[in-house]
Amino acid sequence: MIKKKGMAMTICMMMLLTSCDDGRLYENQMIHPEEGRIVKLTGNISGIDEWTNGYSVVVAGFTNESEYAIISKSVTTDNDGQTEVVLSGINDEVERVELCVTNRLRKRILTFQAVGLNAPDTIRMEVGTINLGVYASIQEQLFNTTCTSCHGASTFAGAGLYLTEEKSYDALVGEPSQLINGMLLVNPGDAGTSVLYQTIATDISSTWKQDHSNMVMSTAMHDIVRTWINNIAND
């Protein structure tokens, strides 16, 4: 039985990265503790703990140009899976707020939901019940968008491989490749020897009937798939 690796704690780097003042001294030391706008996100979110290795699920503010968060706050859930995150002190620079995954550098890796910031004060994001786990994200943001058209969503499944929801995990993990003798599609714990990872991140498919080499240009997605495979317990 293969199961996902046990929970690992996500290290919260936010503490180190909260905004600092500009160092100038004002004559009348004006203090604005609640300056800026507020975004309040509520929902029933699962899968957050699956993000480790410097990735974290956050509510974060961005300009429209940059992929790096100006301000962000980790998303946590209580025992019932209920989430409430209040991101306050959002300054004028911030143009959009996203529920997303960022890396150690606070660079946006995946976006789940986004809102523009036109309103002057509190903005509510009600996200409902969602699974933001690593595999659920790969399914939604990679397989469903780029792969299922040829792998099971129609009458056709290339190499007999179904990458549709419900079927993809069992079709991949520990299953032999049809095209590369002796290799597994997903070799638990080892992305390097997994045909799935090689298919999206290398030119292994250049001699196949369908070249996949340039289908997934996002190196962030390569990293997520690699991390997911490397974290599957091999037991």
Q: Which residues in this chain contact ligand HEC in the complex, by CB under 6 A? A: 142, 146-147, 149-151, 158-159, 161, 177-180, 185, 195-196, 199-200, 208-210, 212, 215-216
State which residue has the least CB distance to ligand HEC: 158
Least distance from ligand HEC to the Cβ atom of residue 208, Å: 3
Shortest gap between Cβ of 163 and ligand HEC (angstroms)? 6
Give me the least distance between CB of 99 and ligand HEC, in Å please: 24
Residue 99 or residue 161: which is nearer to ligand HEC going by CB?
A: 161
Smallest gap from Cβ 194 to ligand HEC, in A, equals 9
Classify strands 56-62 and 96-102 as parallel, antiparallel or unpaired: antiparallel
Helix (H, G, I), strand (E, B) or coil at 136: helix
Q: How far is 114 from 135, CA to CA, in rounded Å?
A: 21
Closer of 96 and 167 to ligand HEC (Cβ):
167
Helix, coil or strand: residue 94: coil
Burial of 165 (0-12, 13-18, 19+ CB in 10 A): middle
Strands 96-102 and 71-74: unpaired
Given the complex with ligand HEC, which of 61 and 158 has the nearer CB atom? Answer: 158
Q: How far apart are CA 127 and CA 81, in angstroms?
A: 13
Residue linked to tokens 């690699």? 226
Which of 133/158 has CB closer to ligand HEC?
Answer: 158
